[in-house]
Amino acid sequence: TTAYADAPKSSAAAVDISAYKDKLVVYQDATGASYVVSPRQPGEVEAGTARVFFGRAKTMYAHPVMTAAASGEDGEWSVTTWTAFQIAANKAQTALMCDPNDPIEKGVPLTLLTADKAKAFLAGAKFVTSPVDNFPYALGRDGTTYYLITRFEDDKQTRRYKLFAGKKAAIKEVVLADTIADEAGVVLVTKTESVKLDPTTRTMVVKRKTADVKLDKIDASFQPHLAMVFREFGIYPSGTIPCGK
Protein backbone atom coordinates (compact mmCIF):
# COMPACT_ATOMS: atom_id res chain seq x y z
CA THR A 1 0.00 0.00 0.00
CA THR A 2 1.04 3.60 -0.53
CA ALA A 3 2.23 5.46 2.57
CA TYR A 4 0.87 8.97 2.87
CA ALA A 5 2.34 11.86 4.84
CA ASP A 6 0.50 13.92 7.43
CA ALA A 7 -1.53 16.88 6.21
CA PRO A 8 0.64 19.98 5.62
CA LYS A 9 0.84 22.61 8.33
CA SER A 10 1.83 26.23 7.94
CA SER A 11 5.21 27.18 9.43
CA ALA A 12 4.73 30.87 8.70
CA ALA A 13 7.03 33.38 10.42
CA ALA A 14 6.26 36.99 11.31
CA VAL A 15 6.68 39.69 8.64
CA ASP A 16 7.66 43.26 9.52
CA ILE A 17 5.49 45.61 7.40
CA SER A 18 6.69 48.86 8.99
CA ALA A 19 8.80 49.91 5.97
CA TYR A 20 5.79 49.96 3.62
CA LYS A 21 2.81 50.09 5.98
CA ASP A 22 1.77 53.52 4.70
CA LYS A 23 1.43 52.12 1.15
CA LEU A 24 -0.91 49.28 2.11
CA VAL A 25 -4.62 49.38 1.33
CA VAL A 26 -7.18 46.97 2.76
CA TYR A 27 -10.07 45.31 0.93
CA GLN A 28 -12.68 42.80 2.05
CA ASP A 29 -15.05 40.51 0.17
CA ALA A 30 -18.64 39.60 1.03
CA THR A 31 -17.50 36.73 3.29
CA GLY A 32 -15.34 39.02 5.43
CA ALA A 33 -12.02 37.72 4.10
CA SER A 34 -9.36 40.45 3.90
CA TYR A 35 -6.88 41.40 1.20
CA VAL A 36 -4.03 43.76 2.07
CA VAL A 37 -2.35 45.10 -1.04
CA SER A 38 0.46 47.43 -1.98
CA PRO A 39 -0.02 47.91 -5.74
CA ARG A 40 2.90 48.52 -8.04
CA GLN A 41 3.54 52.22 -8.45
CA PRO A 42 3.65 53.70 -11.99
CA GLY A 43 7.23 53.89 -13.25
CA GLU A 44 8.57 51.12 -11.02
CA VAL A 45 10.67 48.42 -12.66
CA GLU A 46 9.10 44.93 -12.82
CA ALA A 47 6.95 44.15 -9.77
CA GLY A 48 8.51 46.99 -7.78
CA THR A 49 7.12 47.20 -4.25
CA ALA A 50 3.90 45.30 -4.99
CA ARG A 51 2.79 43.06 -2.13
CA VAL A 52 -0.26 40.96 -1.34
CA PHE A 53 -1.49 39.48 1.94
CA PHE A 54 -4.64 37.41 2.44
CA GLY A 55 -6.45 36.09 5.48
CA ARG A 56 -9.86 34.98 6.72
CA ALA A 57 -9.30 36.27 10.26
CA LYS A 58 -6.57 38.37 11.87
CA THR A 59 -3.62 36.41 10.44
CA MET A 60 -2.59 37.73 7.03
CA TYR A 61 -0.47 35.45 4.84
CA ALA A 62 1.99 36.89 2.31
CA HIS A 63 1.66 35.70 -1.29
CA PRO A 64 4.69 36.09 -3.58
CA VAL A 65 4.04 38.40 -6.52
CA MET A 66 4.56 37.01 -10.02
CA THR A 67 3.70 40.12 -12.04
CA ALA A 68 2.36 43.59 -11.31
CA ALA A 69 1.11 46.31 -13.63
CA ALA A 70 0.03 49.91 -13.10
CA SER A 71 -1.18 52.82 -15.19
CA GLY A 72 -0.73 56.35 -13.92
CA GLU A 73 -3.33 57.81 -16.28
CA ASP A 74 -6.49 55.81 -15.59
CA GLY A 75 -5.72 54.34 -12.17
CA GLU A 76 -5.75 50.74 -13.39
CA TRP A 77 -3.50 48.24 -11.66
CA SER A 78 -3.19 44.50 -11.16
CA VAL A 79 -1.13 42.12 -9.05
CA THR A 80 -0.82 38.43 -9.97
CA THR A 81 0.63 35.97 -7.46
CA TRP A 82 2.52 32.70 -7.74
CA THR A 83 -0.41 31.13 -5.90
CA ALA A 84 -2.62 31.63 -8.97
CA PHE A 85 -4.90 34.53 -8.17
CA GLN A 86 -5.02 38.15 -9.23
CA ILE A 87 -6.30 41.36 -7.67
CA ALA A 88 -7.07 44.10 -10.17
CA ALA A 89 -8.65 47.53 -10.15
CA ASN A 90 -10.01 50.08 -12.59
CA LYS A 91 -12.05 53.24 -12.14
CA ALA A 92 -15.24 51.24 -11.63
CA GLN A 93 -14.22 48.38 -9.35
CA THR A 94 -11.62 46.26 -7.59
CA ALA A 95 -11.94 42.48 -7.82
CA LEU A 96 -10.33 39.13 -7.06
CA MET A 97 -9.85 36.81 -10.04
CA CYS A 98 -9.42 33.14 -9.13
CA ASP A 99 -8.28 32.63 -12.72
CA PRO A 100 -5.87 35.48 -13.61
CA ASN A 101 -6.93 35.12 -17.25
CA ASP A 102 -10.50 36.21 -16.44
CA PRO A 103 -11.62 39.81 -17.06
CA ILE A 104 -12.23 41.95 -14.00
CA GLU A 105 -15.99 41.83 -14.64
CA LYS A 106 -16.00 38.10 -13.76
CA GLY A 107 -14.11 38.62 -10.52
CA VAL A 108 -15.23 38.62 -6.88
CA PRO A 109 -16.00 42.25 -5.90
CA LEU A 110 -13.76 43.73 -3.21
CA THR A 111 -14.68 46.67 -1.00
CA LEU A 112 -12.06 49.21 0.06
CA LEU A 113 -11.99 49.93 3.80
CA THR A 114 -11.98 53.56 4.86
CA ALA A 115 -8.68 55.00 6.05
CA ASP A 116 -9.71 54.78 9.72
CA LYS A 117 -10.92 51.18 9.44
CA ALA A 118 -7.84 50.18 7.46
CA LYS A 119 -5.55 51.73 10.07
CA ALA A 120 -7.31 49.82 12.85
CA PHE A 121 -7.17 46.59 10.86
CA LEU A 122 -3.45 46.90 10.13
CA ALA A 123 -2.75 47.64 13.79
CA GLY A 124 -4.59 44.53 14.96
CA ALA A 125 -3.59 42.04 12.26
CA LYS A 126 -0.67 39.61 12.36
CA PHE A 127 1.38 39.49 9.15
CA VAL A 128 3.26 36.29 8.36
CA THR A 129 5.24 34.70 5.53
CA SER A 130 3.71 32.70 2.70
CA PRO A 131 1.85 29.49 3.57
CA VAL A 132 3.48 27.98 0.48
CA ASP A 133 7.18 27.10 0.44
CA ASN A 134 6.98 24.21 -2.01
CA PHE A 135 5.58 25.29 -5.37
CA PRO A 136 4.14 23.11 -8.17
CA TYR A 137 7.03 21.95 -10.34
CA ALA A 138 5.71 19.09 -12.50
CA LEU A 139 2.25 17.65 -13.02
CA GLY A 140 1.15 14.48 -14.79
CA ARG A 141 -1.79 12.12 -14.97
CA ASP A 142 -2.27 8.36 -15.33
CA GLY A 143 -5.95 7.93 -16.17
CA THR A 144 -7.72 9.75 -13.34
CA THR A 145 -4.75 9.64 -10.95
CA TYR A 146 -2.67 12.80 -10.71
CA TYR A 147 1.02 12.95 -9.81
CA LEU A 148 2.33 16.31 -8.62
CA ILE A 149 5.94 17.12 -7.79
CA THR A 150 6.55 20.29 -5.80
CA ARG A 151 9.91 21.91 -5.18
CA PHE A 152 11.31 24.12 -2.45
CA GLU A 153 14.35 26.24 -3.29
CA ASP A 154 15.99 28.85 -1.06
CA ASP A 155 18.51 31.61 -1.76
CA LYS A 156 21.36 29.10 -1.39
CA GLN A 157 19.74 26.88 -4.07
CA THR A 158 18.99 24.19 -1.52
CA ARG A 159 16.26 22.08 -3.11
CA ARG A 160 13.71 19.73 -1.61
CA TYR A 161 11.05 17.79 -3.46
CA LYS A 162 7.67 16.42 -2.44
CA LEU A 163 5.43 13.97 -4.27
CA PHE A 164 1.63 14.00 -4.21
CA ALA A 165 -0.60 11.38 -5.83
CA GLY A 166 -4.27 10.49 -6.07
CA LYS A 167 -7.60 11.52 -7.53
CA LYS A 168 -8.11 15.26 -7.90
CA ALA A 169 -10.34 15.58 -4.83
CA ALA A 170 -8.27 13.22 -2.69
CA ILE A 171 -4.65 13.81 -3.65
CA LYS A 172 -2.19 13.32 -0.78
CA GLU A 173 1.51 13.66 -0.09
CA VAL A 174 3.37 10.37 -0.49
CA VAL A 175 6.14 9.39 1.93
CA LEU A 176 9.48 9.23 0.11
CA ALA A 177 12.02 6.52 0.86
CA ASP A 178 14.73 8.26 -1.16
CA THR A 179 15.32 11.26 -3.42
CA ILE A 180 17.91 11.39 -6.20
CA ALA A 181 18.54 14.70 -7.97
CA ASP A 182 21.35 15.30 -10.46
CA GLU A 183 21.92 16.39 -14.07
CA ALA A 184 20.12 13.30 -15.35
CA GLY A 185 16.92 14.23 -13.57
CA VAL A 186 15.00 13.73 -10.36
CA VAL A 187 13.91 10.33 -9.03
CA LEU A 188 11.49 10.15 -6.13
CA VAL A 189 11.36 6.68 -4.59
CA THR A 190 8.40 5.41 -2.56
CA LYS A 191 7.75 2.01 -0.97
CA THR A 192 5.82 0.78 -4.01
CA GLU A 193 7.15 2.69 -7.03
CA SER A 194 9.49 5.42 -8.21
CA VAL A 195 8.78 8.54 -10.23
CA LYS A 196 11.46 9.80 -12.61
CA LEU A 197 11.27 13.40 -13.80
CA ASP A 198 13.04 14.66 -16.92
CA PRO A 199 14.35 18.13 -15.93
CA THR A 200 14.17 19.47 -19.49
CA THR A 201 10.71 18.39 -20.59
CA ARG A 202 9.17 18.03 -17.09
CA THR A 203 7.71 14.68 -18.17
CA MET A 204 7.34 11.91 -15.59
CA VAL A 205 7.69 8.14 -15.82
CA VAL A 206 6.33 5.96 -13.01
CA LYS A 207 8.35 2.78 -12.55
CA ARG A 208 6.25 -0.03 -11.13
CA LYS A 209 6.96 -3.72 -10.59
CA THR A 210 4.79 -4.65 -13.56
CA ALA A 211 5.66 -1.90 -16.05
CA ASP A 212 6.89 1.64 -16.63
CA VAL A 213 4.12 4.18 -17.23
CA LYS A 214 4.76 7.51 -18.95
CA LEU A 215 2.33 10.03 -17.51
CA ASP A 216 0.31 12.43 -19.60
CA LYS A 217 2.11 15.73 -19.12
CA ILE A 218 0.19 18.71 -17.76
CA ASP A 219 1.99 22.06 -17.82
CA ALA A 220 2.10 23.07 -14.14
CA SER A 221 3.15 26.64 -15.01
CA PHE A 222 0.06 27.22 -17.22
CA GLN A 223 -2.27 29.44 -15.19
CA PRO A 224 -5.44 27.28 -15.38
CA HIS A 225 -3.46 24.20 -14.29
CA LEU A 226 -1.68 26.15 -11.56
CA ALA A 227 -5.05 27.41 -10.38
CA MET A 228 -6.37 23.83 -10.34
CA VAL A 229 -3.56 22.77 -8.00
CA PHE A 230 -4.17 25.60 -5.55
CA ARG A 231 -7.98 25.54 -5.75
CA GLU A 232 -8.86 21.87 -6.03
CA PHE A 233 -6.04 19.71 -4.68
CA GLY A 234 -6.25 20.95 -1.09
CA ILE A 235 -2.57 20.25 -0.35
CA TYR A 236 -1.81 23.61 1.24
CA PRO A 237 -2.96 24.84 4.68
CA SER A 238 -6.70 25.51 4.66
CA GLY A 239 -7.88 29.12 4.67
CA THR A 240 -4.56 30.63 3.63
CA ILE A 241 -5.15 30.96 -0.13
CA PRO A 242 -8.07 32.73 -1.84
CA CYS A 243 -10.26 30.42 -3.93
CA GLY A 244 -8.64 27.35 -2.36
CA LYS A 245 -10.06 24.65 -0.12
The 10s digit of each residue's pLDDT in 78-112 is 898 888 899 999 888 999 998 888 889 999 999 99
For residue 203, tell me if it sits in a domain. Answer: yes
For residue 1, tell me if it sits in a domain. Answer: no
Tally of domains within the chain? 2
- Give yes or no: residues 181 and 142 share one domain: yes
Q: Which domain holds residue 209?
A: 135-232
Contact 59, 53 (CB under 8 A): no
pTM of the model: 0.80
Q: Residue 242's closest CA among 93, 10, 32, 89?
A: 32
Instruction: Please state the separation of Cα 29 from the chain's center in Å.
Output: 19
| CA–CA distance, 207 with 36 (Å, rounded to integer) | 45
- Give yes or no: residues 114 and 26 share one domain: yes
User: Would you state the pLDDT for residue 169?
Assistant: 82
Residues in the chain predicted with pLDDT less than 70, given as ranges, are: 1-11, 41-48, 72-73, 154-157, 244-245
